[in-house]
Amino acid sequence: MVEALGEKGITNPFPIQEQTIPLALGGQDIIGQAKTGTGKTLGFGLPLIQRLGASPEPGVKALVVVPTRELCVQVFEDLELAASKRDVKLVAIYGGKAFDGQIEAIKDGAQIVVGTPGRLLDLAQQRILSLSKVQEMVLDEADKMLDLGFLADIEKLFSQAPATRHTMLFSATMPDSIIALARRFMSRPIHIRATSPDEGVTQANIRHVIYRAHPLDKDEMIARILQANGVEKTVIFTRTKRAASKLMDELKERGFNVGAVHGDLNQEQRERHMAAFKAGKRDVLIATDVAARGIDADDVTHVINHTIPDDHETYLHRVGRTGRAGKKGTAITFVDWDDLHKWSLIQRALELPAGEPVETYSSSPHLFTDLDIPEGTKGRLPGAGAKQAKPQRERTRSANVGQRSRRRRRSSSSGSAQAPSGEQQTSSTAEGTDAAPKPRRRRRRRRSSSSRGEGNTPKEG
> Is pLDDT larger for residue 394 or for residue 324?
324
Asked whether 316 and 289 are in contact (CB, 8 A), the reply is no
Task: Supply the pLDDT for residue 372.
Answer: 96
Hey, where are the domains in the chain? 2-193, 206-381
Task: Supply the pLDDT for residue 340.
Answer: 93
User: Is a pLDDT exceeding 60 seen at residue 396?
Assistant: no
Give me the CATH code for the 2-193 domain, please. Answer: 3.40.50.300
Average pLDDT, the chain: 82
> Is pLDDT larger for residue 290 or for residue 422?
290
Asked whether 112 and 52 are in contact (CB, 8 A), the reply is yes
pLDDT confidence of 411, banded at 50, 70, 90?
A: low
Domain covering 206-381 assigned CATH 1.20.140.10 in the classification: no
Determine which helix (DSSP H) or strand (DSSP E) holds 90, and give its type and residue range: strand 90-93
Task: Supply the pLDDT for residue 226.
Answer: 96
Distance CA 168, CA 140 (A): 8
Distance CA 275, CA 115 (A): 19
> For 262-296, what is each residue's pLDDT tens digit?
878 888 888 888 889 988 899 999 999 876 666 77
Q: Provide the 8-state DSSP code for 80.
A: H
> Is pLDDT larger for residue 140 or for residue 384?
140
Task: Supply the pLDDT for residue 449.
Answer: 44
Which has the minimum average pLDDT: 48-52, 146-150, 172-176, 215-219?
172-176
Distance CA 77, CA 61 (A): 18
User: Is a pLDDT exceeding 90 seen at residue 97?
Assistant: no
Three-state secondary structure call for residue 374: coil
Asked whether 146 and 181 are in contact (CB, 8 A), the reply is yes
> For 438-460, what is each residue's pLDDT tens digit?
555 555 555 444 444 444 444 44
User: Is a pLDDT exceeding 80 seen at residue 197?
Assistant: no
Average of pLDDT values for 23-45? 87
User: Is a pLDDT exceeding 50 seen at residue 389?
Assistant: no
User: Is a pLDDT exceeding 60 seen at residue 436?
Assistant: no
Task: Supply the pLDDT for residue 398.
Answer: 46
Most trustworthy range by pLDDT among 116-130, 148-162, 169-183, 412-426: 116-130
Task: Supply the pLDDT for residue 286.
Answer: 95
Distance CA 5, CA 21 (A): 15
Report the percent of the chain where pLDDT is more than 70.
Answer: 80
What's the 3-state SS for 196-265?
CCCCCCCCCCEEEEEEECCHHHHHHHHHHHCCCCCCCEEEEECCCHHHHHHHHHHHHHCCCCEEEECCCC
User: Is a pLDDT exceeding 90 seen at residue 307?
Assistant: yes
Average of pLDDT values for 381-404? 52
Average of pLDDT values for 48-60? 93
Average of pLDDT values for 429-433? 40
Task: List the one residue out of 365, 87, 60, 374 whose CA is nearest residue 230.
Answer: 374
Report the percent of the chain where pLDDT is more than 90.
Answer: 51
The side-by-side arrangement of strands in the sheet containing 90-93 is 90-93, 112-115, 62-65, 136-140, 166-171, 30-33, 190-193
> For 61-82, what is each residue's pLDDT tens digit?
999 999 988 889 989 999 999 9
The burial class, CB within 10 Å (0-12 / 13-18 / 19+), for 160 is middle
Average of pLDDT values for 377-406? 58
User: Is a pLDDT exceeding 70 seen at residue 397?
Assistant: no
User: Is a pLDDT exceeding 50 seen at residue 129?
Assistant: yes
Asked whether 342 and 321 are in contact (CB, 8 A), the reply is no
Task: Supply the pLDDT for residue 124.
Answer: 95
> Same fold for the domain at 2-193 and the one at 206-381?
yes
Task: Supply the pLDDT for residue 46.
Answer: 95
